[in-house]
A = this chain, B = another copy of it.
């Protein structure tokens, strides 16, 4: 689905419909929503869904693309912040908040490394954006050495995943994130 210009108009319209339906259903029921039902809601056959998005991950990437881009933009903004360490932590909190708010985003962010062949775009984008923040924070001595951006994002995603089925998910995620993130600072 990278070269969207090459798609025929109806095909592109269907792809958009599928992404919209997927977004709605994933918000309702989580990242493991039924692909059949997504197709049903989008008003297309299941074969069409599978041709457009050969793997579930590809669909998730499309659904969350704009949110990931927003997070990347925020990372860019924070590069100009006064305190490099606080900038990184603030960004991680923002990533966590987004992951909690958008069910399934956290899982999507992590699985980038899993299937290197297809997609991985979300994971790559967010990793690239965060890396710059981490490098700057590290240079300022605001994070302890040896920590990678992939580790930090894994931590954030894991927390959002763990609190996904909680009655009081967002608040609990915030608290857990607070604990975990404090370990990032040098002793």
On A, residues with C-beta under 8 Å from B are 110-111, 113-114, 146-147, 151, 154-155, 157-159, 161-163, 165-166, 172, 175-176, 178-184, 187
Contact = CB atoms under 8 A, between A and B. Distances in A.
Contact of A180 (B113, B180, B187): B180
A126 to B, nearest CB: 15
A145 to B, nearest CB: 12
Nearest to A150: B172
A163 B159 contact: no
Ranked nearest first, the 5 interchain pairs of A and B with the lowest CB-CB distance are A182-B183, A158-B162, A158-B158, A183-B183, A179-B183
A147 B178 CA distance: 11
A178 to B, nearest CB: 7
A158 B172 CA distance: 13
Contacts of A147: 179
A159 B151 contact: no
A87 to B, nearest CB: 18
Contact of A161 (B151, B158, B175, B180): B158
